[in-house]
Amino acid sequence: MEMLEGIATRRSIRGFKPTPIPRETLDKLFHLASRSASYKNTQPWEVAVVTGKKRDELSKILYDLASSKTPQNHDEPAPGLYPDAHEERSRIHNKNRFAAIGLGRDDAQAREQARLLNFQFFGAPCAVFIFMDKTLTHWSTFDVGLFVETLALTAHAMGLGTCQQASVTGYPDAIRKCLGITDDKKLVISLSLGYPDFDAPLNAYHSTREPNEKFVTYYD
Ligand SMILES: Cc1cc2nc3c(=O)[nH]c(=O)nc-3n(C[C@H](O)[C@H](O)[C@H](O)COP(=O)(O)O)c2cc1C
């Protein structure tokens, strides 16, 4: 896939085929993602790749927590209210993604079912958790963000799909416990990873972007 086409066509995937991803494919993907830039080449990302029985075990734990409305406790506290313009984009995103599967504002139960799909990794055979050392700062979170975008674009170029999921990172203690990861590691983000199922209803949704005039200022 040509690079600019890949950047233009990458999108979050929220429905996957159960087809397992070969180990060599995963190795290639993470090797390429590690070409990301990082401050002073510190490469702060620590990646847990969860498949097979462990994936099913962890999904059940997370689904039980989420469906019983257990309060979330992100390692990095969730943001509060955004500035008005950002809140408006978020509102439109929510409206459009539910409209794409035929749900309106009042379909609270169906919306909750759709939310819970996060904790089943949208059917993906692979869940990826990105940790970094707890002593690190926002500078390293920035580096992890670059790594995750490179990962998402590389996966797309390889015929795979990803969905980044802050929702899943709301239960970091359960994830660390299940994977045997010590609590000196901060969970930054998780991703579902697999072969996209383009017939899945949630994949009908395509997000939009603001035009350049809204966010670019040229100074001559
Ligand atoms: C940090 C972060 C957290 C996200 N968390 C979730 C999530 O929990 N569930 C979900 O369905 N999508 C999640 N997304 C995906 C965003 O909704 C998506 O990137 C955005 O709407 C733009 O759409 P696109 O990725 O298809 O271009 C997250 C994205 C980012 C960058």
Pocket of ligand 1 (CB under 6 A): 11-12, 14, 93, 118, 163-167, 189, 207
CA 78/CA 106 separation, integer angstroms: 25
| CATH of region 3-209 | 3.40.109.10
CA 190/CA 103 separation, integer angstroms: 26
Q: Whose CA is nearest to atom 22 of ligand 1?
A: 207
| Burial environment of residue 163 by CB neighbours within 10 A (0 to 12, 13 to 18, 19 or more) | buried
Please state the φ and ψ torsions of residue 115, each to the nearest 5 degrees: -60, -40
Tell me the three state secondary structure of residue 37.
Answer: coil
Which pLDDT score, from 0 to 100, does residue 104 have?
83
Distance from residue 162's CA to the centre of ligand 1 (Å): 10
Q: Whose CA is nearest to atom 6 of ligand 1?
A: 165
Q: Whose CA is nearest to atom 17 of ligand 1?
A: 12
Q: What is the pTM of this model?
A: 0.97
Per-10-residue mean pLDDT for the chain, 220 residues long?
Answer: 96 98 98 98 98 98 98 94 95 92 88 96 98 98 98 98 98 98 98 98 96 97
Atom of ligand 1 nearest to the CA of 152: 25
Distance from residue 153's CA to the centre of ligand 1 (Å): 14
Q: Whose CA is nearest to atom 5 of ligand 1?
A: 165
Asked if residue 73 lies in contact with residue 172, where contact means CB atoms within 8 angstroms, the answer is yes
